[in-house]
Structure 1
Amino acid sequence: MSDLDDIDLQPEDFESSVPLKKVPYGDVFEASRAGDVDRLRYLLESGVNVNARDRWDSVALYYACLAGHLDAARMLLECGAICSEHTFDGDRCHYAALNLKVRKLLKAFEARPPPLAPLQAALRDTFLGCSANAYGYTAEQNSDAPYSLVPGNSANGATSTSHFPPDVVFYVQGRPVEAHRVILSARSPFFKKKFQMEWKDRKEIRFSREKLSYPALYSLIHFFYSDRLEIAVDDMEDLVRICKVCKCESLQILLEKELIHQRYAEYKALRDIDNSQKRFILQGLSLPDQDRLSTALHHMLQISLANSKREWNLESDVDGLVSIVGSAQMIDFENDLADVCVKVEEKIFRCHQVILAARSEYFKARLSRMKDFLEGSNGLPDNTFLCLEEHDLSMGAFEKMIEYMYTDGLKDIDPDQAEELFDAASRYLLFPLKRAVADALLPHLEMVPPAELCHWLILSDMYGVLKIREYCLDAMACNFEMFAETLEFRAMLLTLPPPSGDSTLRTTAPSAPGAEMNTAEGNLLDDLREKWLEAEAAELDERDESALLFDKRLEMLMHLAEQERSGVLDDTS
């Protein structure tokens, strides 16, 4: 609630203004109208377009605001629902809001757009890390700011070194936009074709057409990186023309529809009174799945992996009749725009430096040092690939790791790979990977026996994977007697600190330097006791007595485990 404290909202305000009802089979519009947050959460997590329109041209947020469901409205806003005033959807929600508190919630989220997913946030930081783009973004937010920037330098004259450098610069109306070829090629067939032909070896591209608008092109390229479009309403017509050229058909259709709504927007009649710049914000979730950033990069990754396999087969030719140099013409390596090779075990993976550097501080540091080394090398061709070699990592685990780096998700996972991926997430400073592995692993955990669940609890606690840790604790608390009869559970108790509530007896340490410590995560048995008390629905005045009974039960199980361990030792001796 800290983000909303300044608009005078209390927790009780998020109770619906009308009686709730359940719509277990309803769509996103029915769930929003009814205030069924459980159904709404399920639909949004399943990938439903939060800004989809029904046959009456209304979005889900409109129905939540109309009915006064503050909790449902907040959930939709956090998932990227459009609420900006002076847009068709935003104005309808503001005008339809049941009360002032709903309007205050809309205003709060209009000033604070929903956070980007890790992939989009990382690539947006890479885009804005380019000094010309960072200054351009500031200038676009403040259109009255003068533009004076030397390409490659920051606004104060200092060269930016904290970002991954671009490999192409566009000049529009004398102003630079820095970018990376692989991102533009993945998002636009127009750019992909140009980089394969006319712009193949060009580092700078200058546009002379007067009709080409710098704000429109800048906003489009920013969208390619972040899946979030932010543009002034006055520049939208220029952007539609650019989308048509770049073959961004889905985005073009949405913008054309919004332009129709803008022509009838009420603020058009108030220009003499309110001449402030109106901006339009569009989330990538409004586009079909095949036109989103993660899907585009996944397609690029598939091409790179296919080329990697073919290149590996050529290199491993036992007869030596085929070499990778002699076979360069046999394989179309230009389509994947790969610029770095990573060797894991005996396989070579073709990857893209900007993706690896954006997602992992480890790769950013290592690639930047290798580039500095190559800059001082003479006699090397310009197209020399950087080559990295990673040790103590299997080919399968690395392939899953780059799948996450390119797509922000994992479609499926072998449970035997989970521990290696948890370790890789720590080693490569890719901590969000742990949650992606946990999401893919949870369906498997629902079918494992209690003995195996004990293993996953220890593993998740060791690596700080909170989602699996919580799942295991919940399962053990709800089925405590069943676990108490399990030999592995009793043996596990001997490896854990006793339940005490003392925060000094933590079982979890940071996974790696720079990892955040979760201070709410403490002693495993303390947490298990709390889960058990919740499952038993112990009354407040009986919690101390119930906790004491739980501790005595644990003591008995530990004593039994000691006897079992001693018996095993006696048998082996």
Structure 2
Amino acid sequence: MSELDDIDFDLDDFPSTTPLKKVPYGDIFEASRAGDISRLRYLIESGINVNARDQWDSVALYYACLAGHLDAAKMLLENGAICSEHTFDGDRCHYAALNLNVRKLLKAFEARPPPLGPLASDLRETFLGYQQQFAGDLSSGGTSPSYFPPDVVFYLHGRPIEAHRVILSARSPYFKKKFETDWRDRREIRFSREKLSYPAFYSLIHFFYSDRLEIAVDDMEDLVRICKVCKCESLQRVIEKEVSHQKYADYKSLQEIDNSQRRYILQGSSLPEDDRLPASLSCLLQICLANSVREQNDLVSRIGSLKISAFEDDLADVCIKVGDKIFRCHQVILASRSEYFKTRLSRMEDFFEGKHRLPDYNLPLLEERDLSMEAFEKMVEYMYTDCLKDIDPDQAEEMFDAASRYLLFPLKRAVADALLPHLEMVPLAELCHWLISSDMYGVSKIREYCLDIIACNFEAFADTREFRAILLTLPPPSGDSSLRTTVPSAPGAEMKMTEGNVLDDLREKWLEAEAGELDTRDESALLFDKRLQMLMHMAEQEQFLE
């Protein structure tokens, strides 16, 4: 159909063609069939696998397409549902789509796979960058990553694949055992088996880094055999099932399809949580932290002569000293996640900062100052797992500062997500503090939340001395979007190009909360400005009396 060529559209232009229902206690399949967006959103936020199958071997996206629920289908696709044509699930969704609009939606997302998370995206970029470098393909747009070099090269049929032992060991028990035994001191590993498929092996290594499997249908049976050897059991089961689906699809197809042009895509979210990239690196991180504590105890007991006791091998290749604690880390993860560490490690030549205290230490040692051990540990937790657990609200501001200093901007969003539930219970004065802090560090989520609460409860805040005091520190409302309340001075801090003057934004939110008519909007804005002037005058008098 020629109409499918234009895949760019606005979802608002295509409302669902069937009435929506509510299934407050339904599963993901019932919610998709009914088009219950609120229930679907709750299930997705709870971490449910959007590519799970029911007793009839159907996925949630199939039911959303069958019922013509565009909004439900779009939500599933944005959260990793797979819709590739010429695959078992993809073809079912395309053929079952109730109308043309649903098919256009599927086509749009087929051309634009769901984005990877920050951790998977960063490591994937690192992996692909090295394959380009090794192949001499830097002229095509790749950049030469001269930092954290891979420590192992696999050769299949004369073709190389560069990788890092720590990533492979974290993802596969087979590789972990091999690197501890037969391959312990080997830089190059050559496979002589002619039946070992290079595309299948490459796809698996790429999956270890990116948590996304992309493979040609012709190579899937080879991948099953490799997964069996590498003890990737959950991935093996999924691929085996998909192979049988592909055979059935071939049997039912009306025409021959060139398998070399057909590709299968699998998101890591389709696997059990323990087999995904963040969980694998989280286990590795726990070993590193345990070894770091052990080294700290040795440091305290043997000043000037550190002797590391036997501990589980964590393949650490760099140590970061923060305060009195030494953290064992991995260059590939630090440099992939943070531009600060990427630059510093790329210039590192046998760094041993403070080595006069540790004469027998055999790993490069970097020292970080003006940062607490607790904040650094939380930052490393995010770098390895893409999430934060049990963050102390009193630590949030230091974490915002660390995210700016270490050029780890996605960390701000993670801290904001952890901080928001706490802000629902804090007094008004503390919300005023968080408004100023979030504006200074460019944390939009906290800033917007504070502005919304203040706009909806303006009179209550106007009665607080803390709110009146911060008005004296802010530029007056101007309506000029080029003005900024603050420009963060921390190295590498993001410029807030989409945020304007705080009081301008507060005025806009107050006008929205008041739901004023358009013809009285200017008058209402003028009244708001006069109210602010009165509050600032009160604050000046209170400051003078002090």
Kept in 2, the 8 Å contact 1:49–1:285? The answer is yes
Kept in 2, the 8 Å contact 1:297–1:407? The answer is yes
C-alpha deviation, 1:21, in angstroms: 2.9
The corresponding residue for 1:475 is 453
Question: Structure 1: how far apart are the matches of 2:72 and 2:90?
Answer: 16
Question: Structure 1: how far apart are the matches of 2:26 and 2:95?
Answer: 25
Offset from partner CA, 1:462-494 (integer Å, 9 cap, x none) = 000001001111111111111111111111111
1:533 aligned onto 2:516: no
The corresponding residue for 1:139 is none
C-alpha deviation, 1:338, in angstroms: 0.5
Structure 1 residues 316 and 65 mapped into 2: Cα distance closer, same or farther (>3 Å)?
same
Residue among 113, 116, 137 paired with 1:154? 137
Deviates more, 1:111-120 or 1:62-71: 62-71
Offset from partner CA, 1:173-216 (integer Å, 9 cap, x none) = 21111100000000000000001111111100011112211111
Kept in 1, the 8 Å contact 2:148–2:345? The answer is no
Q: 5 Å matches for 1:494-573?
A: 494-509=472-487, 516-568=494-546
Cα RMSD (Å): 2.4
Question: Structure 1: how far apart are the matches of 2:177 and 2:58?
Answer: 38
Question: Structure 2: how far apart are the matches of 1:295 and 1:52?
Answer: 19
> What is the percentage of aligned positions where both structures have the same residue?
77
Q: Which amino acid aligns with 1:302?
A: Q
The corresponding residue for 2:356 is none
Structure 1 residues 226 and 72 mapped into 2: Cα distance closer, same or farther (>3 Å)?
same
Question: Structure 1: how far apart are the matches of 2:31 and 2:511?
Answer: 33
Question: Structure 2: how far apart are the matches of 1:176 and 1:134?
Answer: 11
Structure 1 residues 234 and 174 mapped into 2: Cα distance closer, same or farther (>3 Å)?
same
Kept in 1, the 8 Å contact 2:212–2:265? The answer is yes
Q: Which amino acid aligns with 1:307?
A: N
Deviates more, 1:414-423 or 1:119-128: 414-423
Question: Structure 1: how far apart are the matches of 2:195 and 2:442?
Answer: 54
Question: Structure 1: how far apart are the matches of 2:126 and 2:160?
Answer: 16
* SS of residue paired to 2:348: helix
| Unmatched runs of 5 consecutive residues or more in structure 1 | 136-150, 375-380, 569-573
Question: Structure 2: how far apart are the matches of 1:485 and 1:436?
Answer: 33
* SS of residue paired to 2:301: coil
Offset from partner CA, 1:512-567 (integer Å, 9 cap, x none) = 56555343211111111111122222222222222222222222211211221111
Q: Which amino acid aligns with 2:482?
A: T
Residue among 259, 267, 287 paired with 2:243? 259
Kept in 2, the 8 Å contact 1:129–1:164? The answer is no
Q: Which amino acid aligns with 1:303?
A: I
Question: Structure 1: how far apart are the matches of 2:33 and 2:73?
Answer: 10
Q: 5 Å matches for 1:38-437?
A: 38-130=38-130, 133-134=131-132, 151=134, 153-154=136-137, 160-161=144-145, 164-266=148-250, 269=253, 272=256, 274=258, 277-317=261-301, 323-325=305-307, 328=308, 330-334=309-313, 336-371=314-349, 384-437=362-415
Question: Structure 2: how far apart are the matches of 1:402 and 1:500?
Answer: 41
Structure 1 residues 5 and 344 mapped into 2: Cα distance closer, same or farther (>3 Å)?
farther
- What TM-score, normalized by structure 1, do the two folds share? 0.89
Structure 1 residues 552 and 535 mapped into 2: Cα distance closer, same or farther (>3 Å)?
same
Deviates more, 1:500-509 or 1:467-476: 500-509
1:458 aligned onto 2:442: no
Structure 1 residues 11 and 105 mapped into 2: Cα distance closer, same or farther (>3 Å)?
closer
* SS of residue paired to 2:347: helix
Question: Structure 2: how far apart are the matches of 1:268 and 1:182?
Answer: 44
C-alpha deviation, 1:46, in angstroms: 2.1
Aligned residues: 536
1:449 aligned onto 2:432: no
Kept in 1, the 8 Å contact 2:70–2:102? The answer is yes
Question: Structure 2: how far apart are the matches of 1:256 and 1:276?
Answer: 18
The corresponding residue for 2:26 is 26
Offset from partner CA, 1:37-87 (integer Å, 9 cap, x none) = 233222212211111112222111111111212122112111111000111
C-alpha deviation, 1:273, in angstroms: 6.0
Question: Structure 1: how far apart are the matches of 2:171 and 2:259?
Answer: 34
Q: Which amino acid aligns with 1:35?
A: G
Structure 1 residues 87 and 511 mapped into 2: Cα distance closer, same or farther (>3 Å)?
farther
Offset from partner CA, 1:407-448 (integer Å, 9 cap, x none) = 001012111211111111111110111111101111111110
Kept in 2, the 8 Å contact 1:164–1:358? The answer is no
Offset from partner CA, 1:276-332 (integer Å, 9 cap, x none) = 5210000000001000000000100000000000011011106x6x9433xx4x322
Q: Which amino acid aligns with 1:226?
A: S
Q: Which amino acid aligns with 1:530?
A: E
Q: Which amino acid aligns with 1:424?
A: A
Question: Structure 1: how far apart are the matches of 2:199 and 2:311?
Answer: 35
Question: Structure 2: how far apart are the matches of 1:479 and 1:266?
Answer: 62
C-alpha deviation, 1:372, in angstroms: 7.7
Structure 1 residues 544 and 36 mapped into 2: Cα distance closer, same or farther (>3 Å)?
farther
Question: Structure 1: how far apart are the matches of 2:283 and 2:424?
Answer: 31
Kept in 1, the 8 Å contact 2:170–2:284? The answer is yes
Question: Structure 2: how far apart are the matches of 1:159 and 1:494?
Answer: 48
| Unmatched runs of 5 consecutive residues or more in structure 2 | 353-358
Question: Structure 2: how far apart are the matches of 1:406 and 1:119?
Answer: 7
Offset from partner CA, 1:133-178 (integer Å, 9 cap, x none) = 248xxxxxxxxxxxxxxx5633669993466421100011211111
Kept in 1, the 8 Å contact 2:8–2:108? The answer is no
Structure 1 residues 533 and 454 mapped into 2: Cα distance closer, same or farther (>3 Å)?
same
Question: Structure 1: how far apart are the matches of 2:18 and 2:520?
Answer: 36
Structure 1 stretches (4+) deviating beyond 6 angstroms? none
- What TM-score, normalized by structure 2, do the two folds share? 0.93
Question: Structure 2: how far apart are the matches of 1:462 and 1:69?
Answer: 42
* SS of residue paired to 1:393: coil
* SS of residue paired to 1:230: strand
Q: Which amino acid aligns with 1:27?
A: D
Question: Structure 2: how far apart are the matches of 1:476 and 1:391?
Answer: 37
